[in-house]
Structure 1
Amino acid sequence: MATAPVELSWDGPLAVVTLDAPPLNLFDLEMVTALRAAIAEVRTSPARGLLLQARGRAVSAGVDVNLFATLDTVTGTELWADWLTMIHDLESLPFPTVFAAHALCLTAAFEISLACDLLVAAESARFGLVEIVVGLTPSMGGPQRLAERAGPARARELVYTGELYDAATLERWNVVNRVLPDDGFAAAAHAFALGLANGPTRAHAATKTIVRTQVAGGTRAADEVTPQVSGALFGTADLQGAVASFLADGPGKATYTGR
């Protein structure tokens, strides 16, 4: 009996979504359907954080090229519109999302990683948008999200060349947030994501709203939403408890429930 290509598990408030379609975690219709279902389940759960990771010798070798042989102009347009909806669903989750890349991370997986709030990578991880080998451009939001992180010139370079880039280079370019040692990478990435999930969830959601507004409309647009978004936090149990903890015991002692 075949196993599902995506696994959803939990560690307290942290949802863990794992790509598990050996040997290369190729993206096909089944993989995307399963990933979309996992994201939907996480959205309706009491999750306060998400870790998206992969199992096997590669994060993913990209999209199964057999799929492209079945597409024409109409069905190709429909496919990308559908898959971008999944990207938007991932981006709109109201809590921190972390993508952990332990090894080779190509095309669709790389684009999905860019839809997460933070991208952590093992020292030996490699990344690439290699769609030029089939005459395609990355179409799950990768170029535009690379441009947000690294600037338009770097985004064009990655796509035009189709080259592989190491984690340290992409950290310098602000694409990767943190490079962690290969040894113990999975545990370290999990601990990092769990720490965020155990934080002030409503405050993290406010941060996401402010940053996304700035990206879309500039600093003044973010300034417009900040007073209301941040002011609402004074009505949360987490802020009230953290203020009381700070005054009684000093900083760093508060715990949060996400309320």
Structure 2
Amino acid sequence: MTGDCTRLERSTTDRGAALAVLTIDHGDLNLFDRAMFDSLTADIADLAAGPPRAVLLRAEGRVVSGGVDVHLFDGLTVEQGTVLWRTLFERIIAPIEALPCPVVFAAHALTLTAAFEIALACDLILAAPKAKFGLVETVVGLTPSMGGPQRLAERAGSGRARELVMTGDRYDAATLHDWGVVNQLHDDVDAAARALAVRLADGPTRAHDATKRIIAGWRSAGVGHADAVTPEVSGALFGTEDLRGAVRSFLEAGPGKAVYTGR
């Protein structure tokens, strides 16, 4: 599936696992304008309708994104602004987080505002050492409103989230790696991210989904709630072909020999 601003490509790994690569490709700066949001929304809806076993989200061009096209905000009323943010949560952020498979984000260069907030909605963020990140909405009197501050606070702590958002500064990948925001640094981040996506796609998809659901329980209501949902979420894995086959493989051939199908 190819839109005007994004490209969604589905393939299979050598082991037959379904893999999807969603690429942002919208001019030199990959600005998030209405067309970009619409194209991205359509691709994410496609992924939600037919989830693969892993997703890689990446970008072409000199930068991952220079941010949002400010024309999008010009003249909006309070009501229109509220609808805009609610729509972006419902059609982009929430569906990414709800995908029942690992989602990897690759940042090869500058990653600002909406692109950074989308990265924070993914499961794992990989970055090149030269990449920089920023939530710079203060330059137009806004605060990041696609979930960036709260997801940054989850990864790095509330004090660092306030610093990054309130200063509007750009932070290098090494700093955000130290803060726990970026998971891995790689010189060839695209190759590393693709390799990781393939590895995750080949893995126990239902178990990865269970991990996401347990962590989502913690995010929504703390450790007690996560503990409460874990027995049912994890218990359901005993009904999967992957767990039964992996247990037999472990007992018969030792660890690391199981082949997963996602079922």
TM-score in terms of structure 2 length: 0.95
Of 182, 185, 196 in structure 2, the residue corresponding to residue 179 of structure 1 is: 185
Secondary structure at the residue paired with 2:74?
Answer: helix
Of 109, 129, 143 in structure 1, the residue corresponding to residue 135 of structure 2 is: 129
Q: CA deviation at 1:3?
A: 6.3
How is 1:20-39 mapped onto 2 (pairs within 5 angstroms)? Answer: 20-39=25-44
Secondary structure at the residue paired with 1:60?
Answer: coil
Asked if 1 retains the 8 angstrom alpha-carbon contact of 2:30 and 2:66, the reply is: yes
Choose 78-87 or 99-108, whichever is displaced more: 78-87
Runs of 4+ in 1 over 6 A off after TM superposition: none
Identify the residue that residue 8 of structure 1 maps to in structure 2.
8
Task: State the Cα deviation string for residues 167-211 of structure 1 (Å, max 9, x = none).
Answer: 110011111111111xx3211111111111111000001000111
Gaps of 5+ in 2: 13-17
Distance 1:140 1:46 in 2: 23
Identify the residue that residue 23 of structure 2 maps to in structure 1.
18
How is 1:58-207 mapped onto 2 (pairs within 5 angstroms)? Answer: 58-85=63-90, 86-181=92-187, 184-207=188-211
Q: CA 1:169/1:14 → structure 2, altered by over 3 Å: closer, same or farther?
A: same
Count matched residues. 256
Of 241, 253, 259 in structure 2, the residue corresponding to residue 255 of structure 1 is: 259
Q: CA deviation at 1:7?
A: 0.1
Q: CA deviation at 1:46?
A: 4.6
Distance 2:228 2:78 in 1: 41
Gaps of 5+ in 1: none
Distance 1:116 1:3 in 2: 21
Identify the residue that residue 15 of structure 2 maps to in structure 1.
none
Distance 1:4 1:53 in 2: 16
Letter of the 1:132 partner, please give it. T
Asked if 1 retains the 8 angstrom alpha-carbon contact of 2:107 and 2:189, the reply is: no
Superposed CA RMSD in Å reads 1.2
Distance 2:181 2:259 in 1: 31
Choose 185-194 or 123-132, whichever is displaced more: 185-194
Secondary structure at the residue paired with 1:71?
Answer: coil
Distance 1:44 1:220 in 2: 32
